[in-house]
Amino acid sequence: MDLFPLWLSLRVAVTATALTLLAGVPLAWALARRRFPGRDLVEVLVVLPLVLPPTVLGYYLLQLLGRQGPVGGLLAAAGLELVFTWWAAVVAAVVGSVALLVKAAQAGFEAVDPRLEQAARTLGRSEWSVFWSVTLPLAWRAVLAGTVLAFCRAMGEFGITLMLAGSIPGRTQTLPLAIYDRVQADRMAEANALALLAVGIVAVLVLGLRRLARLRY
Amino acid sequence: MLAVELVKRLPGFALEVAWEASEPVVALFGPSGAGKTLTLDCLAGLLRPDAGRIVVGDRVFFDAGAGIHLPPQRRRVGYVFQGYALFPHLTVAANVGFGLRDRPRAERERRVAEVLARLGLAALATRYPDELSGGQRQRVALGRALAIEPALLLLDEPLSALDVPTRAALRDDLGRTLREWGIPAVVVTHDFAEAYRLADRIVIYQGGRVVQAAPRAELLWRPASEAVARIIGVRNVLRGTVVKATPDRIQLRWRGYLLEAVNSPTRAYLPSSGEPIAFFIRPEYVRLIRKDRGAPDPAHHMNLMAGRVVDEADFGTTWVLRIRLDTPGAPAQGDYDLEVEVPRLVYEILEIDRDRWWQLSVHRGSIHVLPA
């Protein structure tokens, strides 16, 4: 059986989750702790991918990142092509999952008593140090839960990926797309095996999360 | 030397205070919501005032005019927060060493060990905050603040998180610690007894303003106004009418009696006749006149009154009697006129539980006139 869709999905989900963490944690912290102009707009933009139909998102991303689009045009000028490559699947996964991480991490940061952060400041710690030694250690559970959710969502991303990366076997056909493809081609045994793999990976992750959550800090 | 002058406007509240202190321990006292914690946050640099100046020793922390606002990291102020704000994910030793990160490891460990030993916390070094009692948490918070050798120590309601029996013991403990370490401290409290026990100078806050700042004894015996007297919990704050005022005596009419009070020689107050006047009589300074020694002598017993015990409360070592005077008219304090506090022994010897009618006398020096 061709396991390429599994490896691709893992590679896409790991890359997307890393990017989501990189962008999502600072964003969640800013939303939880800072007042800045346009804050409400940012909150809405973050949640939008959760409520919009994935095909609509995919359509707009295609408009934005396609060869004729404003961002895609710049990339093309630099000799880079995004649409219908595996990086497009990464972009799709990030857009589809970033809200889950941001909302979970934001709630985690908001639950940290601001007095603890102020205490750290009076004890000479910089904002950077306050975050790493107080805020994050007290909110890591929420950040981790958000990360696992985002990873699972990235693994399962279908609609945006289909629009933006296509379903090219051996290039952009991720696990969910492959399952759909096998069912369409009436190759039920393969569809069954791939579906079981997807269930297995998510189950292991969620169980692992429950174990970690039992740690104190 | 501490000089504080602050203006901070918030939605629905304005803080506008100025006070100075050269004493080592200052208490900010007043009801909740008076702006005490806000003042501490400004001193620590966690909040930027709209205007004013904060000077600690020879260091300017804040000066609106000169555009100076030191960030909290550079003030070296030890802040013991209300509820302590200990880091729950760190051990006692790590909490105390939290502010020493920029020091070499060996020095940091030595300093932490020294602080823990001085506060009697050495045995708890590896515990976490949720494994400590309230009193132990308070000492860890104090240790964490003291470890950085602060220029100023701030304590916000340091005893309010404790239960009543521990509270009294820890209050005296805290007072001793503050004096031993010799670091200037500002203590916020809404308990006057606590302010009086811990501080040398008391600043009274009400509604975002300072209503009086004075050495503690002066405050207790000479509150600046009726409002101050009420805030610090003075009992028998009463209102009469001036009959005659001279630089050393004030005669006033109250509940049908003509009372004579001493006018303060340093703060002579000369209201004209017929003006309303507030005064107070401390319950423990009212004398009950014994009936087995003949009729009272007006030369010896000044400000003579008579009335009946209408209510009483047993405080263990003392009894508090509520007396309603015989004069007709509405009583001054609800259903009674005066509160009188007598030692338990006196209560028993005079058999007050059976004998309810008494003549009372108050020395003119024990009637304290409150300037309007």
**Nearest by CB: B73 against A113, A115, A126:** A126
The H-or-E segment that residue A113 falls in is none
Instruction: Report residue B2 as tokens.
Output: 């501490």
Q: Is B285 exposed, middle or buried (0-12, 13-18, 19+ CB in 10 A)?
A: middle
Supply the pLDDT for residue B318.
95
Residue in A with minimal Cα distance to B99:
A123
Q: Are residues B208 and B266 in the same domain?
A: no
Assess whether pLDDT exceeds 90 at residue B112. Answer: yes
**Nearest by CB: B148 against A124, A129, A216:** A124
Chain A hits for B128, CB-CB cut-off 8 Å, are 216
User: Which DSSP letter does residue B284 get?
Assistant: G
User: Which DSSP letter does residue B336 get?
Assistant: B
Which residues pair with residue B340 across a beta bridge?
B321
Assess whether pLDDT exceeds 90 at residue A77. Answer: no
Q: Are residues B312 and B354 in the same domain?
A: yes
Write out pLDDT tens, residues B46-58.
999 999 999 999 9
Q: Are residues B336 and B277 in the same domain?
A: no
Residue bearing tokens 């096998």: A182
Q: Is A122 in CB contact (< 8 Å) with chain B?
A: yes
Question: B89 and A138: CB-CB below 8 Å?
Answer: yes
**Nearest by CB: A124 against B46, B73, B128:** B73
Count Cβ atoms below 10 Å from residue B158 Cβ, excluding itself.
Answer: 25
Supply the pLDDT for residue B160.
87
Q: Are residues B266 and B220 in the same domain?
A: no
Residue A126, classed as helix, strand or coil, is coil
Q: Is B76 in CB contact (< 8 Å) with chain A?
A: yes
Assess whether pLDDT exceeds 70 at residue A108. Answer: yes
Q: Is A129 in CB contact (< 8 Å) with chain B?
A: yes
Assess whether pLDDT exceeds 90 at residue A211. Answer: no
Q: Report the candidate in A119, A58, A46 with the shortest Cα–Cα distance to residue A91.
A: A58
Judge whether B44 lies within some domain: yes
Q: What's the helix, strand, coil split of chain A in %, to 5?
A: 80, 0, 20
- Final residue of a domain: which of B244, B264, B281? B281
- At residue A101, φ and ψ (nearest 5 deg) are -70, -45
Supply the pLDDT for residue A2.
84
Judge whether B370 lies within some domain: no
Which residues pair with residue B56 across a beta bridge?
B2, B59
Query: Rounded to whole angstroms, how far apart are CA atoms B158 and B85?
Result: 11
Judge whether B117 lies within some domain: yes
Query: Rounded to whole angstroms, how far apart are CA atoms B72 and B148?
Result: 13
Which residues pair with residue B68 across a beta bridge?
B63
Q: Are residues B185 and B135 in the same domain?
A: yes
Residue bearing tokens 């003042």: B39
Q: Are residues B46 and B82 in the same domain?
A: yes
Query: Rounded to whole angstroms, how far apart are CA atoms B140 and B116?
Result: 8
Judge whether B369 lies within some domain: no
**How many A-B residue pairs are in contact by the CB < 8 A criterion?**
60
Residue window 12-31, chain A: list those with CB within 8 Å of chain B: none
Task: Pick the range with the lowest mean pLDDT from A114-128, B59-73, B219-233, B239-253.
Answer: B219-233
Supply the pLDDT for residue B269.
81
Instruction: Report strand pairing: B152-156 vs B338-343.
Output: unpaired
Which residues does B205 contact at the CB level (< 8 Å), separation at least 6? B17, B28, B29, B30, B31, B34, B35, B36, B39, B211
Chain A hits for B85, CB-CB cut-off 8 Å, are 113, 115-116, 118-119
List the CATH number of the domain containing B102. 3.40.50.300
Q: Are residues B203 and B140 in the same domain?
A: yes
Judge whether B261 lies within some domain: yes
Mean pLDDT of B188-207: 93
> How close is the nearest chain A Cα to the Cα of B161, in Å?
16
Query: Rounded to whole angstroms, how far apart are CA atoms B38 and B15?
Result: 8
User: Which DSSP letter does residue A112 get?
Assistant: S
Query: Rounded to whole angstroms, how far apart are CA atoms A5 and A107?
Result: 34
- At residue B56, φ and ψ (nearest 5 deg) are -120, 110
Task: Pick the range with the lowest mean pLDDT from B110-119, B167-176, B209-218, B241-250.
Answer: B167-176
Q: Are residues B225 and B277 in the same domain?
A: no
Q: Is B148 in CB contact (< 8 Å) with chain A?
A: yes
Q: Is A134 in CB contact (< 8 Å) with chain B?
A: yes
Assess whether pLDDT exceeds 70 at residue A217. Answer: no
The H-or-E segment that residue B9 falls in is strand B2-10
Q: Are residues B178 and B91 in the same domain?
A: yes
Q: Are residues B243 and B340 in the same domain?
A: no
Residue bearing tokens 């292991």: A204
Q: In B123-234, where do the E strands start and end?
A: 152-156, 185-189, 201-206, 209-215
Which residues pair with residue A133 across a beta bridge?
none
Q: Is A112 in CB contact (< 8 Å) with chain B?
A: no
Question: B99 and A137: CB-CB below 8 Å?
Answer: no
Judge whether B226 lies within some domain: yes
CA dihedral (B57, B58, B64, B70) positive or negative: negative
Task: Pick the range with the lowest mean pLDDT from A194-198, B90-94, B144-148, B296-300.
Answer: B296-300
Q: Are residues B59 and B181 in the same domain?
A: yes
Query: Rounded to whole angstroms, how far apart are CA atoms B128 and B144?
Result: 14
Judge whether B155 lies within some domain: yes
Instruction: Report residue B48 as tokens.
Output: 């930027």
Q: Where are the alpha helices (DSSP H) in chain B?
A: 36-44, 92-96, 105-118, 134-147, 164-181, 192-198, 216-221, 226-231, 344-349
User: Which DSSP letter does residue B123 get?
Assistant: G
User: Which DSSP letter does residue B24 get?
Assistant: S
Write out pLDDT tens, residues B292-327.
877 777 777 889 999 999 999 999 999 999 999 999
Q: How many domains does chain B have?
A: 3
Q: Is B143 in CB contact (< 8 Å) with chain A?
A: no
Q: Are residues B242 and B297 in the same domain?
A: no
Mean pLDDT of B102-109: 94
Percent of chain B with pLDDT over 90: 77
Residue bearing tokens 């999905």: A9
Write out pLDDT tens, residues A39-65.
999 999 999 998 999 999 999 999 999
> CA dihedral in degrees (A51, A55, A59, A64; nearest 10)?
50
Supply the pLDDT for residue A69.
87
| Mean model confidence pLDDT for chain B | 92
Query: Rounded to whole angstroms, how far apart are CA atoms A107 and A28?
Result: 8
Mean pLDDT of A72-98: 91
Query: Rounded to whole angstroms, how far apart are CA atoms B96 and B176?
Result: 20
Q: Is B229 in CB contact (< 8 Å) with chain A?
A: no
List the CATH number of the domain containing B311. 2.40.50.100
Instruction: Report residue B251 as tokens.
Output: 């005669």
Domains of chain A, start order: 4-212 (1.10.3720.10)
Mean pLDDT of B278-294: 90
Instruction: Report residue A14 as tokens.
Output: 């790991």
Judge whether B39 lies within some domain: yes
Q: Is B61 in CB contact (< 8 Å) with chain A?
A: no
Range of the domain at B332: 283-364
List the CATH number of the domain containing B246. 2.30.30
Supply the pLDDT for residue B291.
84
Mean pLDDT of B264-287: 87
Angle at A41 between CA A43 and CA A162, to 5 degrees: 70
